[in-house]
Amino acid sequence: MPRLTESSRQARREEIADAALRCVARVGFTRTTMADIIAESGLSAGSIYSHFPSKAELVRFASSSIFTTREDRLETAFAELGTALTPAQVMSHMLPTGDNDPGFDVLVQIWAESLTDPELGEVVSFNVARLRAVIETAITPWAATRTSSDEAAATLADKTAGALLTLMQGYIVQAAIGTKPEVPELVRLLVDAIDDRR
């Protein structure tokens, strides 16, 4: 059999990863079995292992594509919304309130898995950094209106992006394990509660 071209090798890897993601959507991350993925992909065990050296590596690949999909969607949304976004608007767009986003469950499971899989940890770190950069870019115009120099604006945007990320992670955990908070109310309550200068 002739060697697959590089692009069809890549396509095959994505086909396998997609099968894995369909399993994850159905039975959860940790509970997804190689036998599930084998059945869902329609390939054989050996074939899958000729494309991925291990289940862990497959999971990393699939996780990475989950992150990338979210980040790309967000980047596009921010670009379309124009440049005058406040942090609160950014938060609202990152945390869609309508549908029961099954992706949140998967995110929490990936975070947990990354704590015992250093290589997956790197995938997570990389993507947290990218998401942070996306947020930072989106709020930089806002930061510029509150500071006097470009440098100060960059610092504020950077640090604020980190804080928003932390709040967003809390929202995701809360949405996954319990009730999904209302973003505007959450924000209002926190501001009322925490600002000790009032």
By C-alpha distance, which of 140, 168, 169, 167 is closest to 156?
140
Q: Residue 192 touches which of a copy of itself, DNA, none (CB < 5 to 8 A by kind)?
A: a copy of itself
Q: Contact region for a copy of itself (CB under 8 A) — 10-18, 54-62, 76-84, 184-192?
A: 184-192
Q: Could you say whether residue 4 binds DNA (CB under 7 A)?
A: yes
Q: Mask of contacts with DNA, 18-47, x by CB under 7 A? A: --------------xxxx-------xxxxx
- Return d(Cα 69, Cα 125) in angstroms, integer: 16
Encoded amino acid at 6, one letter: E
State the greatest distance between any 2 C-alpha atoms of the chain, in Å, as a whole number.
74
- Return d(Cα 182, Cα 115) in angstroms, integer: 29
- Return d(Cα 171, Cα 183) in angstroms, integer: 8
- Please pick, from the candidates 50, 68, 86, 166, the single residue that binds DNA as defined by CB under 7 A: 50
Whichever of 49 and 61 has its CB closer to DNA, that residue is: 49
Q: Could you say whether residue 129 binds DNA (CB under 7 A)?
A: no
Within 8 A by CB and 6+ apart from 195, the residues are none
- Residues that bind a copy of itself (rule: CB under 8 A) add up to a total of 54
Q: Could you say whether residue 198 binds DNA (CB under 7 A)?
A: no
Question: What is the binding site for DNA (CB under 7 A)?
Answer: 1-4, 9, 12, 32-35, 43-47, 49-51, 53-56
